[in-house]
Amino acid sequence: MNKESILELLPYTSPFLFVDRILDVDEDKISGEYTFSPDLEFYKGHFKNNPVTPGVILTECMAQIGLVSLGIYLMDNSNDISGTLNVALTSSDIEYLKPVYPGEKVTVHSEKQYFRFNKLKCNVEMRDSEANLVCKGVIAGMIIKN
């Protein structure tokens, strides 16, 4: 499976797609990028006159790249990708270290802890364009085929 195929199989569309590009992927890790457009609706109210990206959106971006995209790759490599895939986030433990402002590009890196019985658990981190650590943690989810 190539990087573009992963993007096509993601179960999200704008305005809730937080993956622009997959940079690298293999059996154990994935990395990808996303730029937070200043036009995103949530910036209008978070925070008044000083918009920052909500932590829940940062977590979602890390989940879409570091969990869902890697899960699609792993399911394809196990020849088990027929039908539609859904992903349910089962847990997250994220530490937020730096704000992300409108217009910023981030890179997400994820390393697989384990993938068994369609449950994927990963160590994830997000860095800004200057390689500063924005947030890090552990995300897990179930990958379900329809």
Residues that are catalytic:
46
β-strands 85-96, 133-145: how paired?
Answer: antiparallel
Instruction: Give the span between the Cα atoms of 109 and 116, in whole angstroms.
Output: 20
Paired residues of 6 in beta bridges: none
Rg over alpha carbons for the chain, rounded to the nearest Å, is 15
Residue 30 corresponds to which tokens in the numbers above? 């994935």
Instruction: Give the span between the Cα atoms of 44 and 114, in whole angstroms.
Output: 38
